[in-house]
Structure 1
Amino acid sequence: MLVVALGAQAEPPAYKLPGRKPDSQEPWGAFLGKAAHLAIGRQYRVQHPASVVFLDPDNLSTIVGEGKLGNPKRLSKFVRLLRPDITDTDNLVLFEVKPDNEEGREEGREQAGRYLAALNEAVEPAKKLSGGTGFEGSLFLEFENGGALWHLSWRTPEPGVTLYRWSYRREKPHASWKERAAQKEEALPKEEAEQRGEMAEQAIRAAYEKGEWPSGFQGQVYLPVDCH
């Protein structure tokens, strides 16, 4: 029930779909990955308000310098521009965010290990980082009242590797979103992802950043605090 693959595995993109910007040229599946990374990174910050948290596109040089971990000049030119997904320089942990499948897990493990090795060569001895653990959550997107419900969930099954998945709940008129959330989950239909992937990313960003909602969005984003 893992959903949709990212752009490299997606079907040829449909550029002129409702909910997409007229000039958009991104493969539709890429928006689901961007939306997941955005939500998971912002949620980590929400859950750790006292920490200094760096999110992609912050690179290792920025993390070491601004995070007061050590001397960024100790990073080689080959690694200083690498960009971990989430780095907490107070709790000294790092997470790499990937789709919830075996390929994503292996890639996340390899990348997290590479970033940690590079960072720990440059930081002060008392500030060595490790892979983060115990980070999980979920949120829901409702596109119309009573309409289809999208679900983004994530877990951290091994240190430093956070895996996400999208799933779907069918329409159920006159039912609350919590009643529909309790329905059987299904794979997110391709047509839904094509039509609303970009809008999902924009809606999640608006929910976390208290910004402007995307044009045509008539639903709601239920953040993890709403899901408890």
Structure 2
Amino acid sequence: MIDMRSSGSRTGRTWRLAGFLLVLVAALGARAEPPASKLPGRKPDSREPWGAFLGKAAHYAIGREYQRQYPFNPVFLDTDLSTIVGDGKLGNSKRLSKFVRLLRPDITDTLTLVLFEIKPDDEASRSEGREQAGRYLAALNEVVEPDKKLAGGTGFEGSLFLEFENGGALWRLSWRTPEPGVTLYRWSYRRKKPGASWKERAAQKEEEVPREEVEQRGELAEQAIRGAYEGGERPKGFQGQVYLPADCR
């Protein structure tokens, strides 16, 4: 005969232990994230990780650089498939399903009929980019006209530098397209070397951007890049220079 009181007691202890473990895991996970109030360019209650900020800045720069390289092409950045098909004059956008029409490739060029998905330069992200680019192409090519089939873009690469002050911190954003439709980016960092030109420091050993640098300069980096591409004023507090790919060649 089973003692129901003993069984209930063991069940209660098991649930309490499970609850404690869940709380502990959550607490450890929260400690692993940087303080939300210090995320550069974010609201005080933001929970976005550091990589998300740098990713958004990279997506902006890489997309604008493609537009800059092909100024007369109809280029769509982070635009839904319905708009791409309709405004790009590729076919009948109404043939796209309700869900598919909302998908948004990072870069789509409807003159050269190519698209790119932008991801961080690591194997997991590369695999994800390949899958997403394939999904976008399959959806588009089901509805476009026969002579307007799209493919993954190739040969798109480049880099830009941000110099924060003379001889100070130097950041580099670089990207490459190792397979059709997948453009991979990475940020790197050069240590301070007072008196050296940015080209001399560009030849220095590259390192991962320190977290404290992202916290201190992340918002300025995004503003400086936007200003460089849009021809706006230098952001307040930015005493350096942005060297776009045309400057780096």
Deviates more, 1:209-218 or 1:77-86: 209-218
Which SS does the other structure have where 2:37 is aligned?
coil
The percent identity for this pair of structures is 80
Which SS does the other structure have where 1:15 is aligned?
helix
Aligned-partner Cα distance in 2 for 1:119–1:157: 22
Aligned-partner Cα distance in 1 for 2:44–2:114: 38
Aligned residues of 1:84 and 1:115 also touching (Cα < 8 A): yes
Is 1:213 aligned with 2:234?
Answer: yes
Aligned residues of 2:41 and 2:219 also touching (Cα < 8 A): yes
Specify which structure has the higher proportion of helix: 2
Change (3 A) 1:24 1:40: farther
Is 1:82 aligned with 2:107?
Answer: no
Aligned-partner Cα distance in 2 for 1:144–1:215: 13
Change (3 A) 1:177 1:154: same
Residue 69 of structure 2 aligns with an amino acid whose one-letter code is Q
Aligned residues of 1:169 and 1:186 also touching (Cα < 8 A): yes
Shift of 1:46: 0.8
Aligned twin of 1:106: 127
> Out of 117, 121, 143, which is 1:122 matched to?
143
Is 1:153 aligned with 2:171?
Answer: no
TM-score of the superposition, structure 1-length normalised? 0.90
Instruction: Name structure 2 gaps, 5 residues minimum.
Output: 1-31
Deviates more, 1:165-174 or 1:25-34: 25-34
Aligned-partner Cα distance in 2 for 1:199–1:79: 36
Is 1:139 aligned with 2:160?
Answer: yes
Is 1:45 aligned with 2:67?
Answer: yes
CA RMSD of the aligned region, Å? Answer: 1.6
Deviations 1:128-175 (A, max 9, x none): 000000000000011112101000000000000000000000000101
Aligned twin of 2:29: none
Aligned twin of 2:183: 162
- Structure showing greater radius of gyration is 2
Aligned twin of 2:225: 204
Aligned residues of 1:86 and 1:95 also touching (Cα < 8 A): yes
Residue 15 of structure 1 aligns with an amino acid whose one-letter code is S
Aligned-partner Cα distance in 2 for 1:214–1:95: 30
Which SS does the other structure have where 2:86 is aligned?
helix
Is 1:12 aligned with 2:12?
Answer: no
Which SS does the other structure have where 1:98 is aligned?
strand
Shift of 1:49: 1.4
The number of aligned residues is 217
Aligned-partner Cα distance in 2 for 1:22–1:171: 30
> Out of 50, 69, 81, which is 1:60 matched to?
81
Which SS does the other structure have where 2:135 is aligned?
helix
Which SS does the other structure have where 1:199 is aligned?
helix
Residue 157 of structure 1 aligns with an amino acid whose one-letter code is P
Deviates more, 1:203-212 or 1:116-125: 203-212
Residue 49 of structure 1 aligns with an amino acid whose one-letter code is P
Instruction: Name structure 1 gaps, 5 residues minimum.
Output: 1-9
Shift of 1:15: 2.1
Aligned residues of 2:36 and 2:44 also touching (Cα < 8 A): no
Which SS does the other structure have where 1:80 is aligned?
helix
